[in-house]
Chain A
């Protein structure tokens, strides 16, 4: 039984749209130095200018080019998103797969820890910690990863419990294979699609969290981010600058999250084939 994630996503309309949006955002982040005409950190006396040919989206309150900020903001969002996606999926895989394979007390301990994490409201914890340590991008990635691997680990464990009953795993055991070999050669390859879906979930959650923290003003103030742009713009909402300051940042953030949601929705049947509508099996 081969699960083709690529095919699954491509065959769904929203999936395709999500993929295109995400690719656009990635291109924007990668090509930021080319796409941005000005240094987004460079302040000037020309504050709160409306859009013009020189400044496509005008200037903010300290005279920074809003378009350049928007472009560089994509870098922050995606870096945090992918960083957390990778780390939380990694942690989730390590704990989920090992719990299922090793079993016994180890499994019980891991699962209770996961339960404990899940009942703690993550947003509040993140806000509290962030307010104290004002995390840089790197620490933010680690913090969010540490708080968000548990859901994935549960799914991974459940799937591993079923995969490890397969005859090919029994066969590998009968050649003397240890847990590590079985996980690496027989379980994880078959977890592939689920890992991807878990990863995308992680990315989406992290982008949202990062924007939220920046919006609340408790992230690193020296890093340009969409959340921070929205916060700054909001304090000038009595002027009509929100049209080219607040809205583009909000739209960029929403588009990215919608794109990711579309992709993960399209990939959902991979985990739960019953969600697949009437179609070719």
Chain B
């Protein structure tokens, strides 16, 4: 599809954890954006030192393309098992592209309360931002064509893998 070699997801995750180690707050709470970000949040909670509670966000109710695309058929329930007000939160997503999912996730978080701070950690930053949003921690950077989606998959044994798909077929961002 493109000539750019895809980074290995497990290596990128290792690099992301290295960057977060010692940099995120000792009491930071990890909030993964479904579905890729949710897998990453669980893995990072194990890889980082200390206790980092994990929450999950499905941004479907906050997306800005609802009027064009409607509601997706498969929704997951947002679940934030801790008090958001006063928390230091790290939002986690698999692929940062236009920034629209992150915008939606931040809006949703504020409907749970007023966090002390929000940082953003992403496995892949593929550029192409349409909003003034940048990640605090990045596992790997990647340049791919606009009509291609970068998709994170989780195998049955828990191993993560990146692939490219024609856009429109799957999430990405």
Whether chains A and B associate is: no
